[in-house]
Amino acid sequence: MHNFLLLGGDSRQVFLSRILAGNGFKTTIHYDSKDSSFSVEEAIKSHNIILCPIPFTRDKSSLFSANPMDDLGIGNILSLLTPGHILFGGSIPAYVKEYAKKNGIACFDYMDMEDVTIKNTIATAEGAIAEAIKLSPGCLHKSKCLVTGFGRCGKTLALKLKGLDASVTIADRKDTQLAFANSMGFDTIPLHDMDLSMGNYEFIFNTIPALIFEENLIRSMNPEVTIIDIASAPGGVDFEFCRQQNIRAKLCLGLPGIYAPQTSAEILFQGIVKNLS
For residue range 177-200, what is the model confidence (pLDDT) as tens digits?
999 999 999 999 999 999 999 999
Instruction: Identify residue 114 by its one-letter amino acid code.
Output: E
Domain with CATH 3.40.50.720 in the chain: 3-112, 120-257
CATH number of 120-257: 3.40.50.720
Superfamily of domain 3-112: NAD(P)-binding Rossmann-like Domain (3.40.50.720)
**CA distance from start to end of the chain:** 12
- pLDDT recorded at residue 13: 97
Q: Does the pLDDT value for residue 221 go beyond 90? A: yes
- Tell whether pTM > 0.85: yes
Instruction: Give 204's contacts (C-beta < 8 A, 6+ positions apart).
Output: 145, 146, 148, 213, 221, 225, 226, 227, 228
CA separation for the pair 261, 106 (Å, rounded): 26
% the chain with pLDDT above 70: 100
Using left for φ > 0, alpha for ψ between -120 and 50, and beta otherwise, residue 170 falls in beta
Q: Where are the beta strands (DSSP E) in 45-178?
A: 49-51, 86-89, 106-109, 144-148, 167-172
- pLDDT recorded at residue 18: 97
The DSSP element (H or E) to which 5 belongs, if any, is: strand 3-7
